[in-house]
Amino acid sequence: MAVNSSRGAEWNKLRAAILERDAHTCAYCGHEADTVDHIIAKNNGGEDIASNLVAACRRCNGLKSDKPLIRTNYVNKAWIARL
Q: Per the domain annotation, does 39 fall within a domain?
A: yes
Q: What is the pLDDT along the chain (83 residues), one digit of tens a residue?
A: 344 555 799 999 999 999 999 999 998 888 999 999 998 888 889 999 999 999 999 998 888 877 776 655 666 666 666 54
Q: Per the domain annotation, does 2 fall within a domain?
A: no
In this prediction, residue 44 carries a pLDDT of: 87
Q: What is the pTM of this model?
A: 0.74
In this prediction, residue 2 carries a pLDDT of: 44
Q: Per the domain annotation, does 13 fall within a domain?
A: yes
Q: Per the domain annotation, does 1 fall within a domain?
A: no
Q: Per the domain annotation, does 48 fall within a domain?
A: yes
**Residue-range definition of the domain harbouring residue 39:** 9-66+74-82
Cβ–Cβ < 8 Å for 8, 1: yes
Q: Per the domain annotation, does 43 fall within a domain?
A: yes
